[in-house]
């Protein structure tokens, strides 16, 4: 029996879908933290076969399994199951262990595969790893992130990518599953260099806001009065708005980036400036603001809580009140 034009169109569409699915890269993912869980969720939800490395916190793993992803027990097993492996962990020390350590990616990566580091890493380490893997026929990409876990979950992160043109073209469709804005900044290593510059600016803002709030309180201008001038003025920005939600509202989850990670990134910036032979006095001043908070505060404190720490050092109370009660870091 002859098929109608509509039936033939449906068959063609299904064939195209099957061919697209068959052509899709298999993806590996390591690092289901605050950012990584949302990124991995978007990769699998948008049709890519995903194999991930589980962790002690089982909630992200169970969520991904429910979405159709597969779990592996070692980094080597993730590599063996994948064409492209994404890493999203704290920094270079962790990335190097994942790649080079026992049961690591190097033991399972196939020639022609790609590793994409979404961590905020030291560019010196990034370039060294890229050369090491290139000798094995494996490409290395740095694609660090900007924005927060909220945007990671929504698939609207910013990504700054360092990769040769042909490798960027290969990984871009996967990055598009979780990023709303993708900038191909240059070759491998340039993504991490730009990320450190980006964080220098944002964390510099945080240090300035914190000191300004402490000084304002010291001279009798409360955080709400301070905010009434800055908000909606020329000095306002998206970073300011999420930063201030802790001091003004006691919202500890508005900007979930830890002081420990901020301090780590600023030490990487210091190293990069030293290697480039440039004086970096403002970077060092920013690093020292976070160093004090990191040394004395609990590990789980987030960047906006720097204001509370700077206030305490200067004898003013910037601990926020929520529902009539003082909050605790």
Q: Which residues are catalytic?
A: 195
Alpha-carbon radius of gyration of the chain: 22
The DSSP letter of residue 302 is B
Torsion angle of the four alpha carbons 175, 177, 183, 186, in this order, in degrees rounded to the nearest 10: 10
- CA dist 266 and 206 (Å) reads 13
**Could you give the angle at which helices 281-296 and 259-276 cross, rounded to 10 degrees?**
150
The DSSP letter of residue 258 is B
50-89 as b/e, with b when 16 or more CB fall inside 10 Å? bbbbbeeeeebbeebeeeebbebebbbbbbbbbbbbbbbb
- CA dist 240 and 248 (Å) reads 12
Helix (H, G, I), strand (E, B) or coil at 317: coil
Structure tokens at 159: 């990504």
Element holding 181 (H helix, E strand): strand 179-186
Provide the 10 A C-beta neighbour count for residue 256.
16
230 and 243 in contact (C-beta within 8 Å)?
no
Structure tokens at 2: 């002859």
Q: Say if strands 157-162 and 145-146 run parallel, antiparallel, or are unpaired.
A: antiparallel
Phi, psi dihedrals of residue 3, rounded to the nearest 5° = -90, 145
Query: DSSP letters of 217-229?
Result: HHTT--HHHHHHH
Helix (H, G, I), strand (E, B) or coil at 158: strand
- CA dist 141 and 228 (Å) reads 43
Helix (H, G, I), strand (E, B) or coil at 51: strand
């Amino acid at each position: 029996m002859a098929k109608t034009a509509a039936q033939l169109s449906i068959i063609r569409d299904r064939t195209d879908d099957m061919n697209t699915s068959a052509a899709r890269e298999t993806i590996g993912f390591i690092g289901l933290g605050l950012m990584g869980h949302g990124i991995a969720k978007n990769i699998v939800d948008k049709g890519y076969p995903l194999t991930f490395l589980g962790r002690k916190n089982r909630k992200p793993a169970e969520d991904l399994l429910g979405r159709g992803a597969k779990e592996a027990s070692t980094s080597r097993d993730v590599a063996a199951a994948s064409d492209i492996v994404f890493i999203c962990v704290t920094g270079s020390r962790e990335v190097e262990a994942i790649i080079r350590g026992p049961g690591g990616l190097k033991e399972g990566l196939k020639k022609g595969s790609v590793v994409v580091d979404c961590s905020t890493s030291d560019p010196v380490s990034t370039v060294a790893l890229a050369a090491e893997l290139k000798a094995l026929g494996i490409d290395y990409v740095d694609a660090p992130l900007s924005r927060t876990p909220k945007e990671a979950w929504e698939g609207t992160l910013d990504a700054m990518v360092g990769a040769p043109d042909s490798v960027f073209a290969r990984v871009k469709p996967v990055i598009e599953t979780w990023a709303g804005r993708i900038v191909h900044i240059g070759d491998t290593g340039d993504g991490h260099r730009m990320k450190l510059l980006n964080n220098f600016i944002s964390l510099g803002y945080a240090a300035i806001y914190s000191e300004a709030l402490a000084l304002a309180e010291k001279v009798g201008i409360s955080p709400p009065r301070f905010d009434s001038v800055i908000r909606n003025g020329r000095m306002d920005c998206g970073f300011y708005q999420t930063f201030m939600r802790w001091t003004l509202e006691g919202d500890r989850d508005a900007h979930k980036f830890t002081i420990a990670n901020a301090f780590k990134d600023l030490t990487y910036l210091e190293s990069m400036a030293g290697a480039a032979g440039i004086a970096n006095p403002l970077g060092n001043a920013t690093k020292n603001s976070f160093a004090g908070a990191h040394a004395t505060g609990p590990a789980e404190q987030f960047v906006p809580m720097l204001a509370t720490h700077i206030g305490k050092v200067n004898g003013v109370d910037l601990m926020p009140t929520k529902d009539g009660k003082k909050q605790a870091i």
